[in-house]
């Protein structure tokens, strides 16, 4: 009986464990989106740009609902796609202007 109570206690204790808000992931994703916006990534890399926007919106929704683990994953996906969009945009702009 004591071992059963101990197992139940451990289960409840671990189930109540809270995950901290993914503030770093949020900040990095938001920054990547800002920089992608500055180089007109929506024009030069629309696929990656729209994925970044969609992942970021979903992540914000999960964040507001305190689903931090899901939000963290989505913020990271948003950052990845925003950075890709920015890099592609910079390369295309460079190719258009002939600059290195």
For 46, the domain range is: 21-97
Report, as an integer, the average pLDDT of 71-90. 98
* Domains held by the chain: number: 1
**Per-residue pLDDT tens digits for 36-48:** 999 999 999 999 9
Q: Is the pLDDT of residue 10 over 90?
A: no
Residue 15 included in any domain: no
Residue 4 included in any domain: no
Residue 11 included in any domain: no
Contacts of 52 (CB under 8 A, 6+ apart): 32, 33, 36, 41, 78, 79, 80, 81, 82, 85
**Per-residue pLDDT tens digits for 52-74:** 999 999 999 999 999 999 999 99
Residue 69 included in any domain: yes
Residue 3 included in any domain: no
Q: What is the pTM of this model?
A: 0.80
Contact at 8 Å (CB) between 57 and 79?
no
Residue 29 included in any domain: yes
Q: Is the pLDDT of residue 5 over 80?
A: no
């Amino acid at each position: 009986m004591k071992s059963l109570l101990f197992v139940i206690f451990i289960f409840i204790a671990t189930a109540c464990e809270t995950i901290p808000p993914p503030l770093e992931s949020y900040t990095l994703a938001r920054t990547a989106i800002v920089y992608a916006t500055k180089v007109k990534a929506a024009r030069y890399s629309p696929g990656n740009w729209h994925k970044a926007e969609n992942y970021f919106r979903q992540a914000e929704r999960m964040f507001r609902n305190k689903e931090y683990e899901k939000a963290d994953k989505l913020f990271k996906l948003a950052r990845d796609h925003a950075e890709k969009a920015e890099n592609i945009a910079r390369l295309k702009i460079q190719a258009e202007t002939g600059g290195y």
